Every structure is written in C-alpha cells, then in structure tokens.
Structure 1
C-alpha cells in the first residue's frame, strides 16, 4: 500500500517535505517512523488524515501521515 508522508519543522532536515511511501498491508504509524529513521523522541505530533493518532494506529492505502516536532508559542 502507499501512504503520503509529510514532515514538518526539524524533522525535514536532511529528509523530505512530502513523499509517497510504500508499506506492507496492516503497517502502523510506528512503521513509517522506523522506515524513515525519524527520531522517536522528536515526533511530538502525529496525524493521519488530519486526525491526531497514536503510533500504533494501523494505516490504510492512500492515508496521509504527518509528523511534527514539539512546537512552542506564546
């Protein structure tokens, strides 16, 4: 299956902004993190199709997965 992976903030450094990634059926969000060697301690926000999810969320073909590091503000 294919999912669209988007990276934000520092997670993009040395990687990509957006990319289609091929995964095995029944792959989870954590599998995407591992496949792209994302530092687990830097992934603070994880969205699948704009919904906040846990790392164990099972993905479906065509899903959009977005990862963001911690964000600060005023």
Structure 2
C-alpha cells in the first residue's frame, strides 16, 4: 500500500521532507518509525490524515503520516 510520509524539524536531517513509500498491509506507525531509525522517545506528534494517532495505529492505503519530534525551548 502507498503511504505519504512527512517528516518535520530535526527528523528531516539526513532523511527527506516528504516521500511516497510502499508498505505491506498491516503496517503500523511504529513500523514506519523503526524503519526510519527514529527514536520513539524523541517522537512528539504523530498524525495520520491530520488526526492524532498512537504508535499502534494501523495505516491504510493512501494515508498521510506526519511525524514531529518533541519540541523544546522557552
């Protein structure tokens, strides 16, 4: 199935901004995070089709997954 993956802020470093990728049926957000070598402890916001999701969310054909790191500062 085809999924659009969008990375933001520091997650883009050495990777990509937006990319269309093929995944097997049953792929979860956690599977994509592991494939991209992102540390789960650094995840801030995870959105599928502009809705907040958790790591165990199963992706579907045509979904758009957006991953944001934790933000800091003050």
TM-score normalized by the length of structure 2: 0.92
> Residue in 1 aligned with 2:4?
4
Give deviations 1:13-70, integer Å, cap 9, x for gaps: 1100000111110111001111111121211110000000000001000000000011
How far apart are 1:73 and its partner, in Å? 6.3
Residue segments in structure 1 that go unaligned for 5+ positions in a row: none
Residue segments in structure 2 that go unaligned for 5+ positions in a row: none
Alpha-carbon RMSD across the aligned residues, in angstroms, is 1.2
Cα distance in 2 for partners of 1:67, 1:53 equals: 10
> Residue in 2 aligned with 1:26?
26
Cα distance in 2 for partners of 1:28, 1:2 equals: 13
Structure 1 residue runs of 4 or more that deviate by more than 3 Å after TM superposition = none
Matched residue pairs, number? 74
Cα distance in 1 for partners of 2:50, 2:72 equals: 20
* Higher strand residue share: 2
